[in-house]
Amino acid sequence: MHKRRKSKLDVFMHFPSIYFILLAAFAGSILLLFTTLGHFNDEDRMAYYKLIEGGKKVEGEEQQAQTSNQHRLNLQKDVLFFEKGQRLQLRVFSDSADIDFERSRGRTAVIEHLKNAVCYLQEGIFSLPEGNSDHPLQRVLFLQADTATYHYQNELLIAENVKISRYLAPGHSLDQASTRLGPSMSGKAGHVELLLSSKSFDPNGGNAKKIILKDHVVIEHELGKVGADQIVLTSLPEVKKMPFGLLRMDGHVAIALNNGGNLSCSKASFDCRTYRGCFLSDQEQPEVVYRESGFNKKGQCIPLVVKSRRMDLYLNQNKAGAKNHLNTCIREIKAEDQVTIGYNNDYIAVGEHASYLFDEAFVPAKAKASGVITLTGDGQNSFCQVTNSQGNRIQACQISVNTIKRELIFTHPRGVLAAAQKEGIDFSAETLIWDDISGTLTLKDAVKINQKGMGKLQTDKEMRISQHMIDGQKKLHKIEVDENTLLTHADEDGNPTCVLTCYGKASVDHQKMEAKLYSPLDANGHPFPEKQVFFQDVKGDVFADKALIRYEYRENKIIPAQIILLGNVRIFNQLPSHDDETKIVLQYALADRVELSLSSQEMIFKAKPGNRVLFFDKTNNLEASAPALKIVRDKATRKESIQGMGDVRFSFAEHELEQLRRKFSLDKEKVEFFQNQEEA
């Protein structure tokens, strides 16, 4: 009988277990291969980098270099890579590309040259803490260059004549990256170096990724527009909302801030984790300079310039607006080491430390900086100083410049203020507020001002000094005090010659060359008798409701020329007798007006219609009553002559004597006088 040969099906039917075993083994191999290729851990990654770097040289390999080249047109490709466990994507477009392969000394280099290159690079995919993981965000780097070179070995991209931008986009794919979310950064540079992943330059596990921009670099971001010889952008995984984590600038740094200000320096850095920037000088650029320009109501420019060796800038971060856009504005600028502040092309302030606090209501869109600059010296006993073109010079423990109100505020100031005359005014106070708009200086607490010839003016309250324009310059115009004023005149040696005390308003007008002092008024508009203007000199005491002092400018000197006393004038003199200097002559006088000429030593007493001038020389028992009297004192003999005007009587009526007794308390004066004489 002929035997039939067994088919494969028969074999399968008789031995099915063998095929199942083989099939399972094949499936296991496929699964193992898939698991091995699909899994990506740190050990695999480090092995990959060693491989890219060339690994160990193969023993016996030829030393001669081996090269090859590939040329492609209208290139479009996608490169997938892993960064921190994320699969990221690089998409490249290029008009033409040349790939060079070179193996030398056991190492392989792959370099791709691109022309008219456009790159989109995913730098990370994340969700904001307050966001939803179902709606991820991606940080995308866009780069357009005339030429670019990509080194596969160290994942380095070098580009020339580059436009670059960095922004947030929705989704996790580059296909979704056309929609931009803020904040963003854009710029241009002659040369750019980009490391594709952080491991490329930091195999020890660093988290940062750098972009190096060189040659006429200009970038724009939330801080403003930045130009420098070189800028290094470092992205950090913990900084998600901003287009960079660290920003370092070197060489001829110039920043046009979003608040309207400008910064220039030699080196600078900005850290988005702390929202703090640091600006430094060097020998080539010895100053950090901040500039801004405000405008007054007339549209005139009010420039501000701050210079120092170092500045630190602090930003406020406002809440996110539309499309997740974050507005940032400057909160404070601190300047250190040899600070100089120029304001309004006029004031120059110098110190060691300055802080510029910006107005919280500042809106970046208005591009108008405003705030308060506070300048201090170095240490407790060190002063800062302000000078200006008009010749003012002020020292203080602290100086503040309010660019909103356009005023300067001084703590414990002292210095010299320019006047229309050659003689400047020395002054000191606890506080000085200088209103640049109105040209008014307000001094407060323990105020002292002194001008040679005009005298020394003091008050424990408030004093206002106003300025006006003379020959195109602001000069001192008027000094005003509301209460408690002391005016002291002195001779050329500084010895006090007379003192005026005023409890009411007082003013010194430098244009009219006169000073006015007033007694305070009660509710009915009448002067308080106990708070009259009080005039005292070596001759005696004078009281009046008002006092007027007129000055003259003679031989380049200011001198008091005339004193006029008005209203309820009372005079009590104690003069040494011209016959016997040990003998004191007591004189009393009442008048409505007294005019004293300091040059001629002539005094004219006047009374209102219906009133009379009363003069009483108690020592010589001389009485005089008249509508007016003139007393002239001879400078050589020191003798006085009295001349009556009009209806003169040399004896008092009873009511006139009573008036003198009431005004001067004559009986009490008589007892005290003789007691003093006996004691002498």
Indicate whether 61 pLDDT > 60.
Answer: no
Mean pLDDT of 558-563: 87
User: Is the confidence at residue 323, as pLDDT, over 50?
Assistant: no
Residue 341 has pLDDT above 60, yes or no: yes
Give the CA distances from residue 184 to residues 129, 164, 195, 220, in Å, rounded to whole numbers and listed in that order. 20, 11, 20, 8
Q: Compute CA distances 638 → 410, 512, 632, 641, whole Å.
A: 49, 33, 9, 10
Domain assignment present for residue 204? The answer is yes
Q: Give the range of the structural domain holding residue 666, as residue numbers without chain letter.
A: 476-679
pLDDT for the residue numbered 566:
95
Of 82-86, 334-338, 418-422, 657-661, least confident by mean pLDDT is: 418-422
Residue 12 lies in a domain: no
* Cα angle value 475/478/484 (rounded, 5°): 140
Cα dihedral 27/32/35/40 (nearest 10): -160
Query: Tell me, what DSSP letter sits at residue 521?
Result: B
Decide which of 213, 235, 252 is a domain's last residue.
252
Dist CA 482 CA 442 (whole Å)? 12
- State the average pLDDT over residues 559-581: 83
The pLDDT value recorded for residue 131 is: 52
Q: Give the number of domains in the chain.
A: 2
- What is the rounded average pLDDT of the residues 193-212? 63
The residue from 219, 236, 252 where one domain ends is 252
Residue 305 backbone zone (phi > 0: left; psi -120 to 50: alpha; other: beta): beta
Model pLDDT, residue 269: 92
Domain membership of residue 316 (yes or no) is no
Band of the pLDDT at 369, cuts 50, 70, 90? low
Confidence tier at 241 by pLDDT (50, 70, 90): low
The answer to whether position 358 is within a domain reads no
Residue 3 located in a structural domain: no
Closest alpha carbon to 509 in 475, 486, 555, 536:
475
- pTM for this predicted structure: 0.72
Residue 118 has a pLDDT of 93
State how far the Cα of 341 lies from the Cα of 398, in Å rounded to an integer: 13
649 sits in which H/E element: none
Cα–Cα distance, 187 to 247 (Å, whole number)? 13
Locate 219 and state its tokens: 């970038």
- Which of 189, 220, 252 corresponds to the end of one domain? 252
243-293 confidence digits (pLDDT tens): 667 889 999 999 988 777 899 999 999 888 888 899 999 998 999 999 988
Q: How confident is the model at residue 553 (pLDDT cuts 50, 70, 90)?
A: confident
Per the structure block, which two tokens stand in for 478? 């008027």
- According to the model, what pLDDT value does residue 550 have? 92
Give the pLDDT mean for 555-560: 81
Tell me if 421 is assigned to some domain: no
Report DSSP state, residue 261.
-
Question: What is the rounded average pLDDT for all residues in the chain?
Answer: 79
Q: Comparing 63 with 249, which gets the higher pLDDT? A: 249
Per-residue model confidence (pLDDT) at position 58 = 47
Q: What is the pLDDT of residues 452-462, one digit of tens each?
A: 878 899 999 99
Q: Is the pLDDT of residue 394 over 70?
A: yes
Whether residue 455 is contained in a domain is answered as: no
Contact between residue 299 and residue 293 where contact means Cβ atoms under 8 Å apart: no
Is residue 384 within 8 Å of residue 352, measured between CB atoms?
Answer: yes
- Whether 319 is covered by a domain: the verdict is no
CATH number of the domain within which 668 lies: 2.60.450.10
**Closest to 418 in 3D by CA, of 390, 444, 447, 450:** 390
Q: Which of 236-240, 649-653, 658-662 has the lowest mean pLDDT?
A: 236-240
How confident is the model over 18-33, as a mean pLDDT?
Answer: 50
Torsion of CA 9, 11, 17, 23, to 10 degrees: -60
Indicate if the pLDDT at residue 66 is higher than 60.
yes
